[in-house]
Amino acid sequence: MAEPGRRVALIHSEEDTPETPERARMVTALITSLGLMPRLACEAAPRASAAELTRYHSREYVALLEELDRDDDDSASGEVDERALERHGLEFDAAAFPGVWAHATTIVGGSLRAAELLAKGESDVAIHWQGGRHHATAERAAGFCFANDVVLAALRLLATFRVVVIIDIDIHHGDGAEDAFRHSPNVLTASLHLREPGFFPGSGALSECGHGRGKHSTVNVPLRRGLSPATFARAFAHVAGMCRGWIGDRSSAVVMVCGADGIRGDPRGGWRLEPASLADAVGVVLDWRLPTLLLGGGGYVQTNAARAWALCTMRALQLPPADGAAQIPPDDEFYERYRDGSFLLHAVAERAGALGLACARADDNSGSHAEQNDDAYLEGVLSTLRARFASLSASPPPAACASRVTLAGVKRRPEGEGHSDKAHVVRPTLT
Ligand SMILES: [Zn+2]
């Protein structure tokens, strides 16, 4: 039974990556066909301004993004400096495209609007499935993320709440948010991700735990290939419990990046999660009853992402969980696409290669993999994290006003690390 009074907002747009051109429309269509819209406060994502982007991104980078769009209109005078594109990561998997400025500002605008609803107390949960662009840094695009709406939304929340927790379950490390907040004692970033040689972005080691006053408020949970729903649930429950303990009774908000590329068969993935795995994780966090922003992220089998985020939306609304036989409503705009999973809401698409994605490439990660996260490995990771949290509890971080948080402490990614390594960048990576 729905809890009276839980107010859930859905901010939406049609913005997405060229590799998932219909995903945004598909998730909105599924939420609609499942009859959820009347229960949601639904708004179209507004565009953010250049000034709003520069609350995190550098003026030079924001001006370049805007200039690229003017070039597309044929109204600009000159050519954009190729070296500037390279310097700001606007190449390979983050090459600019016509409309990139509208794309970036709409994604940021949607997440800022969602954060605003939480900060003003107008919503208890705010959802923006087109958000979650967690790889962009202050100066650079990466992994098809041009502006980091996760960071900008967290900064907005910090103006109201004393602490913010960012929990990222996209299969790729949430490196952009970590970059922004690794010196901040007021933002805890926790990322559960696949980490192995050659897998983008290459960061997120267990040993990376923050710096200075932010020491131990960066949590990395590197996991191996083949992660099963049960192992994920176990790891997530432990990490979430640590995050909740860190918050304590302080004024707080939560940002959750719910990338769906950890679902079995994702061509950019390597885990074996199910759509319900994401909804269950969301349910754990929502049980805290804190203001919560739910964002999307990666997810390159569009039907799987739509299924997962629709289930997450149902969880936010505290609707009874749909049983395993629940069907995609036949009047769904994209109904035929769900044939990939026998039209079942909980299914994982079979034969992702039939969906038009380039699954036959040499770096295809979509094959099935045995669980490589055995008990000994997982317990080793979790025991290290438990020891760190114990030290945090012994000396809680000092309060700081939002204006002092993070920006002065942004640490730039050293050249040659992560995205700036072209050997990594040319791999299909994305959010
Ligand atoms: Zn991802």
* Ligand 1 center from residue 326 Cα (angstroms): 27
- Tell me whether residue 227 is in a domain: yes
Q: Is residue 2 part of a domain?
A: no
**Ligand 1 center–CA 74 separation, angstroms:** 34
Rounded distance, CA 127 to CA 292, Å? 8
Domain of 202, in residue numbers: 8-425
CA of 414 to the centre of ligand 1 (A): 22
Given a contact cutoff of 8 angstroms between Cβ atoms, the answer to whether 186 and 145 are in contact is no
DSSP annotation of 92 reads G
Neighbours of 78 (CB within 10 A): 7
User: Does pTM top 0.85 for this prediction?
Assistant: yes
Residue 374 maps to a domain: yes
Q: How far is the centre of ligand 1, averaged over its atoms, from the C-alpha of 360 (Å)?
A: 19
- Distance (angstroms) between ligand 1 centre and the Cα of 5 equals 33
Q: Cα(79) to centroid of ligand 1, in Å?
A: 32
For residue 383, how far is its CA from the centre of ligand 1 (angstroms)? 26
Ligand 1 center from residue 297 Cα (angstroms): 6
The answer to whether 114 and 42 have CB atoms below 8 angstroms apart is no
Residue 42's nearest CA partner among 3, 11, 70 is: 11
Rounded to 5 degrees, what angle do the CA atoms 126, 127, 132 make?
120
Tokens (6 digits) for 231: 């192992």
- Does residue 40 fall inside a structural domain? yes
Q: Is the dihedral of CA 253, 51, 170, 339 positive or negative?
A: positive
The rounded distance, in Å, linking the Cα atoms of 338 and 327 is 10
Please state whether beta strands 41-44 and 8-12 pair in parallel, antiparallel, or not at all (unpaired): parallel
What CATH number does residue 180 fall under?
A: 3.40.800.20
Q: What is the distance in A from the centroid of ligand 1 to the CA of 258?
A: 9
What is the C-alpha separation between 122 and 248, in angstroms, rounded?
A: 23
Long-range CB pairs of 332-340, under 8 A, 24+ apart, other chains included: 332/29, 332/30, 332/32, 332/33, 333/25, 333/26, 333/29, 333/32, 333/33, 334/22, 334/25, 334/26, 334/29, 334/30, 334/303, 334/306, 335/33, 337/26, 337/302, 337/303, 338/303, 338/307, 340/301, 340/303
Closest CA to 37 of 28, 26, 46: 28
167: CA distance to ligand 1 center in Å? 13
The domain total for the chain is 1
From the candidates 57, 88, 135, 346, give the one annotated as an active-site residue: 135
Q: Is residue 321 part of a domain?
A: yes
- Count of C-beta atoms within a 10 Å radius of residue 83: 8
1 in any annotated domain: no
At residue 361, the 3 state secondary structure works out as coil
Task: Could you list the beta-strand ranges (E) of 203-336.
Answer: 218-223, 252-257, 292-295
In degrees and rounded to multiples of 5, residue 233 shows phi and psi of -60, -40
Please list, in sequence order, all residues whose beta carbon lies within 8 angstroms of the beta carbon of residue 358, skipping any fewer than 6 positions away: 267, 364, 428
Other Cβ atoms closer than 10 A to 86: 14
Q: Tell me if residue 135 is catalytic.
A: yes
Q: What is the pLDDT along the chain (431 residues), one digit of tens a residue?
A: 444 579 999 999 998 878 899 999 999 999 999 999 999 999 999 999 999 999 999 999 999 999 988 755 554 445 678 899 999 999 888 888 889 999 999 999 999 999 999 999 999 999 999 999 999 999 999 998 999 999 999 999 999 999 999 999 999 999 999 999 999 999 999 999 999 999 999 999 999 999 999 998 999 999 999 999 999 999 999 999 999 999 999 999 999 999 999 999 999 999 999 999 999 999 999 999 999 999 999 999 999 999 999 999 999 999 987 788 899 999 999 999 999 999 999 999 986 544 434 333 334 444 457 999 999 999 999 999 999 988 776 555 544 433 333 343 334 333 333 333 222 222 223 45
Nearest alpha carbon to residue 253 among 57, 398, 404, 117: 117
Distance from the CA of 143 to the center of ligand 1, in angstroms?
A: 8
